[in-house]
Chain A
Amino acid sequence: MAMLLAVLLMSTRFVSDGYKVGDTVADFKLKNVDGTSISLAGRKDVKGYIIAFTCNTCPVAKAYESRIVALNEQFAPKGYPVLAIQSNDSQRSPGDSYSAMQQRARAKSYPFPYLHDESQAVAKAFGATNTPHMFVVKKEGNAYKVAYIGAIDNNQRDASAADKKYVEQAVAELLAGKPVTTPTARAIGCGIKWRDA
């Protein structure tokens, strides 16, 4: 019985590398689709960032693309702009190459940086596994602390039918100085295409 219990406990422990809510993130420097280099510290005027691990090719990411744009429209003026990061290995997913990213950003007029995590080091540091996979970070002094990890909302197919808008709620709560009531939420998505070791 004790053994069974131990196994059950082991199996229910949440095992994940990367940041947890409350962790301070290490800054990074990634190449944007316009050729410039972007880091978190690059903007002094923000209260935080809505970091979106996304890509060109995943059907779920595509379904959420306009919602990521909408999040930026809603929250960039309030101090929480979107930073989109693409981490898929372009060998395994040619549709996610740097030039394909540039085309996508241009075609869809992305109003936010679309960064190429070519080495996949940033996705690994964050513990991003999906596209889309969201991390809301809040600026505290010179540090950025993770306030939310997970899905955008609870309806992939139809934004208007989503009754839990996790990211929107989290950022609104941060802006109001309130604790984030739902700091993590999961959703089915595409696995990040890791480079073959």
Chain B
Amino acid sequence: MKTCLAFFGMWLVGSGCHPAWSQSVSVVRLAQLESLLNKTDDTLRVVNFWATWCAPCVKELPQFEAVRQKYANRKLSVLLVNLDDPSDLTTKVKPFVKKRNLRSRVVLLDEPDQNAWIEKIAPEWSGALPMTLVVNRSKHIRKFIGKAFKEGELETIINAYKPE
């Protein structure tokens, strides 16, 4: 059981060392997402909140894919948190992830009370998409980006935190 849990943890992190773990979208609740954001290891996490219906989100997804590849040998992981309606998981989200060939870890957050969970994830966030957090709890890193990235902006932010 212990091994199983540890394995699940690794799988949830979906870090750069598992590039082959693609095309699957798992459904998570807030508690799982929070524990991921609050991990105290040395991996810098780029956590992007997006939806298939959000055009600026879709437009910037390749930037996250590029960063994941570029920093594959560093302690950096990319997590794409999808906010489509859970009922669209198999009809929209999974086909989208497949079609776009997304290799970053994708989870769908299933939490109905947005007013409750938005504040817990980012108190400064109004709920506008896209939104990205760059976090590492143990290094006191927490950068909130409440809009789409300009070209190269994400890398500049990542480099400022010098991922190992």
Contacts and interface: CB of A to CB of B under 8 A. Distances in A.
B2 interface: no
A185 B119 CA distance: 10
Contact of B115 (A16, A154, A157): A154
Given A129-B146, A189-B127, A3 B140 contact: yes
B114 A188 contact: yes
B29 interface: no
A108 interface: no
A12 interface: yes
A157 B51 CA distance: 14
B53 A15 contact: no
Contact of A151 (B83, B114, B123, B147): B114
B89 interface: no
Interface residues of A, number: 31
A133 B124 CA distance: 15
B147 A194 contact: yes
B113 A154 contact: yes
B126 A133 contact: yes
Interface residues of B, number: 25
A194 B130 CA distance: 13
Interface string A155-173: 1110000001000000000
Interface in B117-153: 118-119, 123-130, 140, 142, 146-148
Nearest to B54: A190
A135 B115 CA distance: 16
B110 interface: no
Interface of A: 3-4, 7, 11-16, 59-60, 129-130, 133, 150-151, 154-157, 164, 185-194
